[in-house]
Amino acid sequence: MTKKVKDIGEQGLLERLQRFCPPEMIGDDAAVLVTEPEQSLVVTTDLLINGVHFSDVTTSPEDTGWRAAAANLSDLAAMGATPLGITVGLGLPGEVSVSWVERLYQGMTECLQKYNTSIVGGDVVRSPVTTLAITAFGQAHPHRIIRRSAAVVGDAIVVTGVHGASHAGLQLLLHPELKQNLNNTEQEALIKAHQRPQPRLDVLPILWEILTPHSRTPHDGSPLKSGNPPTRLPPPFGETPRPFGFGSPPWTETAKMGAASPQWLLSTPNSPLSVAGMDSSDGLADAILQICRASGVGAVLECRQIPLPQAFDHCLTEQQALEYALYGGEDFELVLCLPKELANTLVQKLGQDAAIVGIITAEPKVLLHDQQQKFPDQVLSLSQGFQHFQS
């Protein structure tokens, strides 16, 4: 009998397709292309389909556009890259209103402008279902690329913010009766978390400030390679308008004129930095499982250390709140693995809802542990979260 995609699921299909790509290009939130010795081009693609990834019932065109752009920028943040621009492929039925399309692009533009980047091209075709395909481009110094495969035993696991809020917001939109236990401020915060997620590009300059003096041997024991400081590095967000296209970045001209640069631009690594990670767009459990799988390690996740929205205290049971945080997805926070002393510094600098939620272990499994022993230890697996093609 012919095997079908639904029989192997999303993860199984991706594993089969990996053989068509160079091994070193697969397995992270984005692909990395070395364009010159001191600069890498980081590329990521996301596909969104009406009725699967978005719906007019729960999301306005502007919010759909924002979410689409934010998802791609989050992938760049997860790789340690600064955005350069995106291209947009749009397929849609002829009956879609022009206003809807313009509002969609307005939402994308609003998100991109916050991070000094823009739409730089794309294509439009007729399609029976509205489909949005975005490719985002970013840049990073090769030694500042964040890989899933760089976690080592003893690393602390850091999350940069609360988890479960986006899924809770979606549930409020789908089931308005759930709002009865929440005040207006709590409702608006959860719905905004779903409709207007914030890619954590703001974490990168803080991370580099902490990590630049530190490096280590990768988990596989291979030697580190030295490199020269880059001739240019990304600017802090909101500092200098970015040109339309991929020409020479404006901050290189600023440097030539002798303008002062922020300290995080001046500190450049000579060896790979001591951090592994990805974003939590597919859920916190998925992120930790993927990192451990790529790094050949395991983890213990402390369920009571996971930062949750305060609103959960009076609208969800503890079990429901944990399920939302682990498997809800689309929170777009960063999940980072780094030495404990550096993790403590990062959490302190990020403040608010950043937290250390676990530790990397040698045994290749991810264990969910409850220090209060209210819940039994549970081994997590990819099959527990959302996957396309699951029946």
Burial class (CB in 10 A: 0-12, 13-18, 19+), 179: middle
Q: Do the annotations mark residue 330 as ligand-binding? A: yes
The burial of 273, by beta-carbon neighbours within 10 Å (0-12 exposed, 13-18 middle, 19 or more buried), is given as: buried
Chain length of the chain:
391
331 is known to lie in a ligand binding site: no
- 109 has binding-site annotation: no
Give the C-alpha distances (Å, rounded to integers) separating 10 from 80, 294, 382: 26, 17, 11
Does the annotation place 282 within a ligand binding site?
yes
* Annotated binding residue 148: yes
CB 10 within 8 A of CB 388: yes
Q: Tell whether residue 386 is among the known ligand binding residues.
A: yes
Q: Judge whether 29 is annotated as a binding position.
A: yes
122 is in an annotated binding site: yes
Quote the CA–CA distance of 109 and 218 in Å, as a whole number.
Answer: 38
Among left, alpha and beta (phi > 0; psi -120 to 50; other), residue 206 is: alpha
353 is in an annotated binding site: no
The annotation status of 220 as a binding-site residue, yes or no, is: no
Distance of alpha carbon 200 from the chain centroid:
7
The CA-atom distances, in angstroms, between 228 and each of 5, 38, 267, 268 are: 46, 7, 12, 9
User: If you ran DSSP here, which 8-state letter would residue 241 be given?
Assistant: P
Q: Does 252 carry a binding-site annotation? A: no
Please state, as a whole number, how many other Cβ atoms lie within 10 Å of the Cβ of residue 259.
10
Task: Summarize the annotated binding site for substrate as residue ranges.
Answer: 53, 330, 386
Task: Summarize the annotated binding site for Mg(2+) as residue ranges.
Answer: 29, 44-46, 75, 123, 279, 282
Task: Summarize the annotated binding site as residue ranges.
Answer: 29, 44-46, 53, 75, 105, 122-123, 148, 279, 281-282, 330, 386
Task: Summarize the annotated binding site for ATP as residue ranges.
Answer: 105, 122-123, 148, 281
